[in-house]
Amino acid sequence: MVPNCYMASRTISGLLGFLLYFIYFDLVFSGTVQKEGSTCTVRASTDASDDAPAILQAFEMCGTDGAIQLHDPLYHIESVMNTTGLSNVQIDLTGTMLWGTNLTYWRSSGLPLDYLNATIAWVIGGDQVQFEGHGVGTFDGNGQLWYILANGVSNFPGRPINLVIANSTNSTYSGIRFVQSQYWTMVVKNSQDILLENIYVNSTSNSSVPARNTDGVNTFFSDKITFKNWTVTNGDDCIALKANSSNILIQDAVFHGGLGVAIGSIGQLNGVFEFIQNVTAERVLAIKSRYAGYVKTWTGVQQGFPPNGESVSLLAPIEL
């Protein structure tokens, strides 16, 4: 007969080994956060699992009066991220954030933009947010899969906007690269005093299927927004100023293909007054673009549910 104390020892040893096994694999494979003082460094997973939970944890721990470092070569983003309510935070990205290929998930789980029936992959916002990409930090939306899925349909439902800056003030986004965005690359919404400089966008198809509605950036309900030194190659508006955008400055931009600077469109919703006011564009070079800039507005008759309804635009090219 085996002594009870021996059996108990074997049981405890087995449980400890089982627990250590899972701790080990969690440390090796799952994304983690290392916190030193007010700085959170996100270490990417080593098995291509979702790094979004670790990134969200870093923002929770260091999103106020802190710094968040994303310095590993590759982060896999497999779920939506909401990092709003930030205050006095420095975000440093030198690696690539690669959005996942589960299109069914993204189509059903995108965060609401609360305007034009659009959804979001990542929404970020707050006061004194400094996001630095150093010219190498990259958002890769895996857009080719979305272009194939949409198959030329401009407003294919469920394509998420890669990054939305919302409810933000006194913030700067600099040196970030965006490639193969799923839909619109960026949106600035309900924000004031935002500088976006040294931004690179390239959302083009590598097959016969076009990359439709891959706007570089759209603004809504925002004031004092500055775009400096943008390079955009895409299949739609390069920089578009939409509902209730005011005091917009665009300087030193280079556009390849696309439609240049779009003033609009506005007036898509019945009974809703919208305006665009005080837009300045300086030193804009448009290469093989349809327009350098143009104005577009709806006729006042809503057709379908925006943005999936059709519109008739007044196309007025602008000399920039």
- Residues assigned a catalytic role: 236
Closest CA to 160 of 128, 129, 118: 118
Tokens of 309: 């309804």
Confirm if 155 and 308 have CB atoms less than 8 A apart. yes
Rg, C-alpha atoms of the chain: 23
Question: Exposed, middle or buried, 1 (CB in 10 Å: 0-12/13-18/19+)?
Answer: exposed
Q: How far apart are CA 226 and CA 208, in angstroms?
A: 35
Confirm if 31 and 49 have CB atoms less than 8 A apart. yes
Q: How far apart are CA 286 and CA 290, in angstroms?
A: 9
Q: How far apart are CA 46 and CA 181, in angstroms?
A: 24
Name the residue type at position 4: N
Q: How far apart are CA 266 and CA 298, in angstroms?
A: 6
Place of tokens 């990359």: 211
User: Which helix (H) or strand (E) segment is 94 a member of?
Assistant: none
